[in-house]
Amino acid sequence: MKKIKDNLDWKDFDKIENLGIQFMTIGMKSKSVDFTSPLEETQYRNTLNMPEIPNDWIYKRQIKNMYQYNSDGFRNNFNLDDIDWSKCIAVFGCSNIFGKGVEQHHSICHYIQELTGLTAVNLGVEGASIRSTFNNAIYVLEKYYPKQMAIFWPGNNRISLTYKWDLKDNTWSHIDMTGVEKQIMLHENLEPDSFGLMHNKQIHVNMRDLWPTVDETHFIDNQDVIYQQNLYKQVLKTIARDRGMPLFEYSLARVKRPRVNALDQVEAEYPEHFAENFKYMGDYKNKKPGWHNLPDDHKNWWINRVCARDIGTFETNGGPGSHHFGPVINKAIAKLILKNRIN
């Protein structure tokens, strides 16, 4: 039984097969905020109080209006209809492209703009899946003609579910999931009132009660998602070829391979005299492994340059964890993306 009532007339094929697509975003529209959500603010307060955070942490002072959203809910200080796309590179991806936990001038998009000399249009969406990233790329290509395009593919452990057509706004409702969600908050339309107007109410739905049924097999080593990525890449390559538009790409999966030094893996720049200790992840000279044995200047540099401000954990041996990328990693990823032209 469907838990979310749909609004489609399944017999009206002319209509339902021509509803079209839209941007898949979760960002606020035309707003500037300190945090993307109350959860991020709580996490920041918790990080701020961690004893491992150094006094010279670059985020010690809360940054006002750190995130600026345009009218489509993307992190740009301009609206998409107001720019000259012939001088732009459109950049797609998840929260890593969005720039979660870093200032705009430390984001991947900023470094891509520096390296190309083009206006980098930030089309990153928090929590985006491979499918919703492709969706946004196609929607941009339908409306605009960017000079270049770059994609940083999200992890393959996310799926995208478009679960309802909204009669009030004539828009799709969608959600991207990673499999860790037990319960999801959605907006359900009530029946039209006497004036024919629709009203929304918030409801909580268990992940497994969504339609179609979703379980762990959708998220763990999902080969269908890998096929989707290959299919979407081929479609974009074909469009880019026909337009004569350079297309660049890289993937989060390549960055997050286990048991590889995070800095060397992405060819990041760091002080040469840190190399031995970073590769050893400890005090190399005295053969004392573990993050806690790194010299203080090494640890402080790492926290300020490798990590975004959303550090969730500190492990004795592994150091800071559960965070987005900081400026050093973001700059390196920007270079890797632009080195990998695929058409």
Alpha helices in 49-194 (DSSP H): 95-98, 108-116, 130-143
Tell me the percentage of the chain whose pLDDT exceeds 70: 84
Contact (CB, 8 A) for 342 and 248? yes
> Is pLDDT of 154 > 60?
yes
Q: CA 245 → CA 87, 342, 343, distances in Å?
A: 12, 11, 8
1: Cα separation from own chain's centroid: 33
Residue 320, beta-bridge partner list: 314
pLDDT (tens digit per residue) in 54-92: 999 999 999 999 999 999 999 999 999 999 999 999 999
**φ, ψ (nearest 5 deg) of residue 119:** -70, 120
State the pLDDT confidence band at 166, using cuts at 50, 70 and 90.
confident
Could you give the CA distance from residue 80 to residue 91 in angstroms, rounded to a whole number?
Answer: 13
Amino acid 169: pLDDT: 74
In three-state form (DSSP H/G/I as H, E/B as E, the rest C), the secondary structure along 261-278 is: CHHHHCCCCCCHHHHHHH
Closest C-alpha among 59, 132, 51, 49 to residue 100: 59
The pLDDT of 9-32, averaged and rounded, is 89
CA 228 to chain centre: 18
**Burial of 166 (C-beta count, 10 Å sphere; 0-12/13-18/19+):** middle
pLDDT at 157 over 90: no
| pLDDT for 181 | 55
Q: What is the pLDDT of residue 1?
A: 44
Percent of the chain with pLDDT strictly greater than 90: 61
If pLDDT is split at 50, 70 and 90, which confidence band does 162 have? confident
Q: What would the pLDDT profile of 194-245 be if each residue is shown by its tens digit?
A: 444 444 455 556 655 655 566 666 665 678 888 999 999 999 999 999 999 9
pLDDT band at 309 (very low <50, low <70, confident <90, very high): very high
Task: Render pLDDT for 180-192 as a digit per residue (tens, 0 to 9).
Answer: 555 555 545 445 4
Tens digits of per-residue pLDDT, 44-60? 999 999 999 999 999 99
Residues 266-277 have a mean pLDDT of 92
For residues 126 and 51, give the distance between their C-alpha atoms in angstroms, rounded to a whole number.
Answer: 28
In the predicted structure, residue 285 carries a pLDDT above the cut 70: yes
pLDDT averaged over every residue in the chain: 86
pLDDT in tens, 115-150: 999 999 999 999 999 999 999 999 999 999 999 999
Prediction pTM value = 0.87
